[in-house]
Amino acid sequence: MMMKIPIKGDIVDDASAAFYDFFGIPSTSPSKVNNLIDSADGDALEVDIASNGGDVSAASEIYTNLKGYQGKVTVNIEGLAASSASIVAMAGDEVNISPTAQIMIHKAWTITQGNADDLSKAVDMMDVTDQSIVNAYELKTGMKRDDILQMMAKSTWMSAQDAVDKGFADKILFVDEKTPQVVNATSTVVPKTAVNKLLTLLNQKGVSNKALKPVSKNDNQKPTPSLRDQKLAILFGKDDDQNGN
């Protein structure tokens, strides 16, 4: 069996969740998630995310409880996983993202007031908060902390492919060729996207794979372009005559 856990609406603390519930406003709070986790009783969890984010501390508590769960946790990013919702997404043992979904990360922000000392303390607090957020991204992606902080400072938006390329997600939903290609080799394995592109071009030009073969040394006819040149001609749209000059 699998327990579904929705992360929808604003991510808020438990006290604020009561306000949201009273007015029927969608929200996610640590208690709501924890109750579902407890009910799962070790079964696999499927966490569906479509949220603009919210309270960092609440997101941290949800992330921690999902990350510490003994069963498998699969995260599906259905729409937008922004701000603190992206932190929750990093708790997945497997993170899937819809081809139409996005992830957005940025530095934490707050509202404060007071004298210079108060503002200085707020700056220190925000720096610590940003570093704690980086921990979740670093653990998932393996990226360097400085690189992640630069992305956060720019308020980076990632498409599904960007998220997979950078390690924030593992797989794009519904697209077979985007499924991670597991290899065990010392050489570089050609990605499936490149293979599919070449086969498509071959079909468009009516060229079969068998036509791309090395030239015989005993062939006395007009010099034929090399195998490499034939392939480059297909990829870059050149005909045989042009390629042979």
Please, are residues 89 and 81 in contact by the beta-carbon 8 Å criterion?
yes
Q: What is the reported pLDDT for 10?
A: 96
Q: What is the reported pLDDT for 127?
A: 86
Q: What is the reported pLDDT for 245?
A: 42
Q: What is the pLDDT of residues 16-32, one digit of tens each?
A: 999 999 999 999 999 99
Separation of alpha carbons 187 and 232, rounded Å: 22
Which residue numbers in the chain have pLDDT < 70? 176-245
Q: What is the reported pLDDT for 187?
A: 42
Of 123, 45, 58, whose CA–CA distance to 87 is shortest?
Answer: 58
Q: What is the reported pLDDT for 226?
A: 66
Which segments of 142-222 does DSSP mark as H helices, in order? Answer: 145-153, 160-166, 192-205
b/e per residue, 102-139, with b = 16+ CB within 10 A? bbbbbbbeeeeeeeeeeeeeeeeeeeebbeebbebbbe
Q: What is the reported pLDDT for 212?
A: 47
Q: What is the reported pLDDT for 56?
A: 95
Please, are residues 160 and 99 in contact by the beta-carbon 8 Å criterion?
yes
Separation of alpha carbons 233 and 239, rounded Å: 6
